[in-house]
Amino acid sequence: MPLARDYAGLLDNRSFGGSLVSRTFYARGQTGQQLLLGAYSALNKQIALSNIHSHVRSEMQSLVLVNGHAKGIITRNLVTGKIDRHAADVIVLATGGYSTVFYLSTNAVNCNVSAAFNAYKNGALFANPCYTQIHPTCIPVAGDFQSKLTLMSESLRNDGRVWVPNKQNDARKPQDIDEQERDYYLERKYPSFGNLSPRDIASRSAKEACDAGKGVGASKLGVYLDFKDAINRYGKNVIENRYGNLFHMYYKITHENPYETPMRIFPAPHYTMGGLWVNYELMSNVPGLFVLGEANFSDHGANRLGASALMQGLADGYFVLPYTISPYLNTIQPGSTSITMKEFDVEEEKVKDKINNLLNIKGKEPAESFHKQLGLLMWNACGMARTKSKLLDALKKIPEIRDEFWHSARIPGTHDTYNPYLERANRIADYLEFAELMCHDALNRSESCGGHFREESQTSEGEALRRDDEFCYVASWEYKGNNQKPLLHKEPLIFENVALTQRSYK
C-alpha cells in the first residue's frame, strides 16, 4: 500500500490522539481505506489463483462443534436463501466488531455481531463486551432518517482546533464569534495533549460541552473543528495536500466548505475493544476456533489509541496466526469431519427453526424500529458515560423490547429467496440478546477505565478513576442459556515490568 514518504523518501509519520510524538505511519487521511484495498487486492489474487474459494453473499448462522472442537459452520446464502454446511479442520473468525448495537455507528450498516455471538452461544467466552470506543471526530447526526454515521479521520486533530462558544445557545455563525468568546476546551483542560487528547477523553469532553448548552448546529449536538489557524500558518495548499479528500467528503455530505467555515463534529460509536476471548495463539477456549482482529478482545484492553486497530489487523493476520495455527493442526486428524455428521444436523435445525420463527411472527412493526429503540437505549445507558441506575434500567427494558420484537415485528417475504428484511431481522434478534451481555459487563465493572466511564467512579476533576485493586482482570462471560444471566470468569492481569498508574493528560 502507498504509505506517505518524507522528503528523503523514507516512511513518514505523524502524531495521533493519545501520543505526543509522531509515531504513526499513514497514507494521507485514508490509511484504513488503503489497508483494506491492499488486503482485498491480495485476497483477490489468491482467489484468481484458486488458492481460496470465496463464498460471497453468504452469512454464518451457527458454529458446529464435534467432540468439543470447532469443526464447521452453517451458512445462509443471502441471495437464494439456501442453508449450507461447511466442514473444516479449523475455523478462523475475522468478522469485525459490534458497534452497530447502537444502531447508528461509523461501521457499515451490514456489520454485525452475529458470527461472534453465535460462537459465544456455542461455548466460546466473550471478553470485555462493555469496552467500546466512541470516536470523537464524526459528522453529527442530521435526523431520524440516517442509518449510519460518517467518520472523519482522526488525523484531522493534528491541525484542527476543537472549540465551542462560551455562551450557551449561541446561534451566531462561527465566523462571527470572536476568539475571546470561544472555549478551546481540550487545550484548556489538557494543556499537554490539547487537541491530541485520547479519543475517550475527547469524546466525553464534547458531550460535556453539549450537555452544558454550548453545542452547535441545528441539533446542538456538535462542536467545531477549526482549521483557520492551520491555513493561516501553512497555507491552503498544504492543508489541501494533507486533508483534501476529507474536506471534499465533508463538503459533499454537509454542503459546508471546511476551508472557509469550521467543521462540525460529534462523537459516534466506532471500534469495539471487547470480543471473543483468545489466548496468545489467538485460539478461543473452544479448541479449533481461532479469532482475529476486532472480533477478538486481545490487543487493546480498555482503550484504543489512534491507528492501533491497523496494528491489530496486521499483527493477527501476518505475524501471529500463520505461526500458531500449525501446532493445533498437528494435534488433529485432518479431514476427519464430514457435513453428514449428526452435529451438523442439529445446528442446521436450530438455524431453520430461528428463521421460521422470525417469519411466523406476522406482526405490523418494521423490525428496524426495534433496532432503533435498542440503539437509543444502549447509547444513553451504555455509551460514552454509564451509571448503575441507567444500566439496571436498560437490563429491565432490553427484555421488554426483545419480547415486543418477537410478538410484533413485521418480516415480509420468504426464506428461500433474496430477503433483506429477514437478513436484518436475524441480526437484530442477536443484538437484542447481546445488548444484555454488554450491560451486565458494564454494570459489573464499577470503575472507570479507558472507554468504560462510570460516572460514580471519577476524580474531583471529572477524570476516570480506576480501581486496579478490584478490577485488574479480563471479564470473560460464559453463555448459560436464554434469559439466564451469563457466568463471569475473571482472568487476572499481571504486570511484571510496569507499574499501574492513574492516567493524566494534563
Helix (H, G, I), strand (E, B) or coil at 86: strand
Q: Which DSSP helix (H) or strand (E) runs through 134?
A: strand 132-138
Whole-number Å distance between alpha carbons of 194 and 17: 10
Report residues of the chain scoring pLDDT below 70.
306, 309, 311
Task: Parse the chain into domains and list their residue ranges.
Answer: 13-135+270-329, 138-267, 342-492
Which grid cell is 324? 500458531
Unique residue bearing C-alpha cell 470516536? 135
Whole-number Å distance between alpha carbons of 90 and 80: 27
Whole-number Å distance between alpha carbons of 150 and 17: 19
Check if 264 is active-site.
no
pLDDT of the residue at 480: 97
CATH assignment of 342-492, given 1.10.287.3510, 3.20.20.140, 1.20.58.100, 1.10.150.80? 1.20.58.100
| Residue environment code for 256-276, b if the CB has 16+ CB neighbours within 10 A, otherwise e | eebeebbbbbbbbbbbbbbbb
What kind of fold does domain 138-267 have according to CATH? Flavocytochrome C3; Chain A, domain 1 (3.90.700)
What is the pTM for the complete model shown? 0.95
pLDDT of the residue at 458: 94
Q: How many CA atoms lie within 13 A of 346 on its CB side?
A: 9
Which one of 28, 157, 199, 386 is the catalytic residue? 199
Query: Which residue from 383, 404, 382 is spatially nearest to 393, judged by alpha carbons?
Result: 382
Contact 89, 332 (CB under 8 A): yes
pLDDT of the residue at 451: 92
Level-2 CATH architecture, domain 13-135+270-329:
3-Layer(bba) Sandwich (3.50)
* CB-based burial label for 173 (10 Å; 0-12, 13-18, 19+): exposed
pLDDT of the residue at 363: 96
pLDDT of the residue at 57: 95
Unique residue bearing C-alpha cell 477524570? 463
pLDDT of the residue at 201: 92
pLDDT of the residue at 29: 78
Sign of CA dihedral 250, 251, 255, 258: positive
Sign of CA dihedral 454, 455, 459, 462: positive
The per-residue DSSP string of 137-166 comes to EEPPP--TT-S---BPPGGGGGT-EEEEES
Question: Would you mind telling me the total number of residues written for the chain in this entry?
Answer: 506
pLDDT tens figures, 87-109: 999 999 999 999 999 999 999 99
pLDDT of the residue at 171: 92
pLDDT of the residue at 301: 82
Contact 438, 101 (CB under 8 A): yes
Whole-number Å distance between alpha carbons of 396 and 390: 10
Tell me how far the alpha carbon of residue 253 is from its chain's centroid. Answer: 22
Sign of CA dihedral 132, 299, 203, 490: positive
